[in-house]
Amino acid sequence: MAEDRALVDRFLDMLAAEAGASRNTLLAYRNDLTAAAATLPSLGQADAKQIGQLGPAWSELSPSTVARRSAALRRFYGFLHEEGLRRDDPSSSLPRPATERPLPRILAPHEVDAMFAAVEDLASSGRPLALRNHALLELLYGSGLRATELVSLPRGALRTGQPFLILRGKGAKERLVPISDRAFAAVEKWLPHVPAKSAYLFPGGKAHLSRVRLFQLVREMAALAGIAPDRVSPHVLRHAFATHLLAGGADLRVLQALLGHADIATTQIYTHVDTGRLVELVNARHPLATRSASS
């Protein structure tokens, strides 16, 4: 239907403009939405009951395909609801197949060290953009911030003598985020270069630095350290923050709070990344570790 095509086009325009989605990503969304539309009387007007029939209709598809199509529809209907194009969001009726979560991509500690060495070397010149990039890297890896959380930080988010900040993250949930002395120092060097009229710590364009630009900057920092840029992103640094903390002995519940995960099952993915460290921890800390096998 022409109306459905218009809604899909509007949705894809939003993904391209606000999320910086690539051409391939947009094509994948269009294909998944078109496939769903072929099963529904109307993609834009489908009710919860009609959406619920997609499960049986997709029964012969692989779990990963069903999960991908459901994710595309979930985001599509969320967009329609937020834009006031429909009163409800029927996506709760979408099938939720059980799929294995892929292990997060991370960097080794020595690779993160190499990135910091390269960025700090440039920042020592005192050039404003080099100081900005250093502050971005310190907050990304040192505090595990999401990309959106980082770029939208208010100018006065960090306060002297307060080693943390309170963020409103995913799902409008607040969490406490620790700020290291290193991050404070990097931000203090960058602050004098932030325009007085800017409401954001990292201004860009008419508002704040975009997520797409942050992604590009992080890849540039990786290249400076001799790391393949396609291995690194803001989210990879967030994964590295979590994995390296866990390897250092951090409690999983504490890590959950720091990352802002609503469900600890999301945090548990990091336990699969460093299994050697976890075995070592059990052997060293468990009460039975000091008892001999013959006891």
* Residue positions annotated with a catalytic role: 146, 170, 235, 238, 261, 270
Which residues, including other chains, have CB under 8 Å from residue 263's CB and lie 6 or more apart? none
Q: What residue ranges in 195-248 does DSSP mark as E strands?
A: 203-204, 207-208
Q: How far apart are CA 218 and CA 198, in angstroms?
A: 23
Which residues, including other chains, have CB under 8 Å from residue 295's CB and lie 6 or more apart? none
Pairing between strand 207-208 and 203-204? antiparallel
Find tokens 């039975």 and name the residue.
288
Instruction: Work out whether the CA dihedral 241, 254, 146, 98 comes out positive or negative.
Output: positive
Angle formed by the axes of helices 234-247 and 211-224, nearest 10°: 60
Query: Contact, 252 vs 271, CB < 8 A?
Result: yes
Q: How far apart are CA 187 and CA 178, in angstroms?
A: 14
Query: Contact, 155 vs 200, CB < 8 A?
Result: yes
Point out which residues pair with 196 in neighbouring strands. none
Rg (CA), the chain: 23
